[in-house]
Amino acid sequence: MNIPANLKYTKTHEWVKDLGNGLYEIGLSDYAQNELGDIVFVNLPQAGDQIKAGEPFADLESVKAVSDLISPMNGTVKETNEALASAPDSVNKAPYESWFIRAEGTLSAGGLLSPEDYEKTFNK
């Protein structure tokens, strides 16, 4: 399982990359994409949408299930990765390059795991 050290993780398998100045990139972990199987559809929010920590901000459909992506932060969607609409399988091929949204706001206090803690929790 690939767990980049420069990211933080949620218990619901989203990864978070700090882009600076209160801007964050959010995607789906390698572990989650592997468990879901082939991703065939991604439903993203729109720029300007509000997101709230602990609540769904997007969903994706795989060959196994439809799954919500849970926000690790309160804030505003600044940008969505429109490339996922035509190539949702890129999440399977390159999960840490295939971000879903870039959002501005505040991360949920205590809601993120370090790479080491994420690996201990889910790499059994």
Tell me what the pLDDT averaged over the chain comes to.
95
Closest CA to 19 of 61, 75, 65, 63: 75
Separation between Cα atoms, residue 15 and residue 83, nearest integer Å: 18
Half-sphere exposure of 47 (CA within 13 A, CB side): 6
In a domain, 112, yes or no: no
Q: What is the pTM of this model?
A: 0.94
Q: Evaluate if residue 124 carries a pLDDT over 90.
A: no
**pLDDT at residue 111, rounded to an integer:** 80
- Tens of pLDDT along 49-80? 999 999 999 999 999 999 999 999 999 999 99
CATH for 54: 2.40.50.100
In the chain, where does DSSP find H-type helix? 30-36, 83-86, 90-93, 115-122
Q: Which structural domain, as residue segments, surrounds residue 97?
A: 25-105
Name the residue among 57, 51, 61 with its Cα closest to residue 85: 61
Residue 5 lies in a domain: no
In a domain, 61, yes or no: yes
pLDDT at 84: 97
pLDDT at 110: 76
